Amino acid sequence: MSGEGTGVTEEGSGVAGTTWTSWAPPGTAGAVADLPADARPTDALTVHRSGDPDAPTVVLLHGVTDSGTTWPDLLTHWGDRYDVHAPDLRGHGSSPRFTPAQMAYAPEVLVADVVALLDALPGPVALVGHSLGGVTALRTALVRPEKVRALVVEDPARPTGRRAPEPDFVAGLLGQTRLVIEDREAEIARMRRETPWSETEIQAWAATRGDVDQEYLQHGLFLGDAAWEESFGALTVPTLLVLPPDAPMAPRADGFDNPLVRTAVVPGAGHCVRRDQPDAYHALVDGFLAEHLG
C-alpha cells in the first residue's frame, strides 16, 4: 500500500498473510489542526494488514493494553472478506509513544492518528472499535464522517470529562500488566480458568500486554469531553453499538435519539463482547457490515 502524497510506506510481510504498514500523519490534516503545534503527530504508527486488498476496507481500533494483533479470531472468521487495517494505537504495541506535549492531549492525538490513516486510505471505510478504540472510532466518525461508511463500537469507554487518569483504574492496569510481564504462563492459566476466551485470543492478549507505554497509563489515559449521549446523537453515519448486559459505560438509551444508531445487547458477554460471545458478535457485525459494505 503506497502512493504519492499519502505518507504510506510498506514495511514487509509477516505470518498468516499479515503485512505491516506505517504512515506519517500530515501535520495539518483534519483533527490535527486543532492541536498545539508541538502535540501534532508527525511520526509513523504501525498497522497490521490482512485479508484481500481488493475487498472493502475495515479499520480495527483496539482497547487499552491491547494492540493491532489482538483480533486473531475475528481475522480468521473474516478470512479474505475484507481488506483489514489494524493499527497499534499510539503508546501500544510497536507504535511510537506519546511525547510529553502529546500526553496532555492524548485523546485528541489518538483521533488525529486515526484521521491520518483514513486520509491515507482510498475511499471511506468501516471503522470498528472496542473500549478505548470504540470512543476513538466514534470521535473519528464525528470529525471525518465522509471517511466512514459504517461504525461499530463494542462497549466503548465512557468519557468522564476529566483531563487526568483515574488513579484506581490506572493502578489496576499497571498491576495486571506487571503480572503478565513477571509470570506470563501463570496469567495465561488464570485466563483459561476465568474466561471463555479461545486459546488464540488468550495468547494474543498475553503477548501484547507488556507492550503498552507505562507513562501513558499513568499520565495520558483519560478520555476528556464527557458529552457522551450528545456524541451518539450527533453521529451521521450508520452505527452499531454492541453491548454486554451490564454496561455502565453505555450511553443512556433515553439520552439521545438517532435513527442511524442501532443498539444490540449480547447475553452472557462482558466488556470484551467479541471474546466472550464470538458467535453472537460475528452474527451482529457480519450482518451490519454486509448491509453497508456490500
pLDDT digits (tens, 9 = 90+) for 84-139: 999 999 999 999 999 999 999 999 999 999 999 999 999 899 999 999 999 999 99
pLDDT at residue number 33:
55
Query: How many domains does one find in the chain?
Result: 1
What's the average model confidence in pLDDT over 25-37?
56
Look at residue 190 and tell me if it is in a domain: no
154 pLDDT higher than 60: yes
Q: What is the pLDDT of residues 220-261, one digit of tens each?
A: 999 988 899 999 999 999 999 999 999 999 999 899 999 999
CB neighbourhood size of 44 (10 A): 19
CA dist 162 and 154 (Å) reads 22
Look at residue 191 and tell me if it is in a domain: no
Look at residue 146 and tell me if it is in a domain: yes
pLDDT at residue number 118:
96
Look at residue 231 and tell me if it is in a domain: yes
Percentage of residues in the chain having pLDDT higher than 90:
82
For the whole model, what pTM was predicted? 0.90
> Please, what is the Cα angle at 21 between 219 and 78, to 5 degrees?
95
Look at residue 209 and tell me if it is in a domain: no
> Which band of pLDDT confidence, cut at 50, 70 and 90, is reported for residue 36?
very high
Do residues 263 and 253 make contact, with C-beta atoms less than 8 angstroms apart? yes
pLDDT at residue number 171:
95
Amino acid type, 151: L
Which segment of 27-41, 118-132, 259-273 scores lowest on mean pLDDT?
27-41
pLDDT at residue number 291:
98
Strands 125-130 and 239-243: unpaired
User: Domain residues for 50?
Assistant: 8-161+224-293
Look at residue 70 and tell me if it is in a domain: yes
Look at residue 106 and tell me if it is in a domain: yes
Cα dihedral across residues 210, 213, 215, 218: positive or negative: negative
Look at residue 73 and tell me if it is in a domain: yes
> Which band of pLDDT confidence, cut at 50, 70 and 90, is reported for residue 68?
very high
CA 126 vs CA 148, 260, 272: distances in Å: 6, 15, 20
Query: What's the CATH number where 103 sits?
Result: 3.40.50.1820
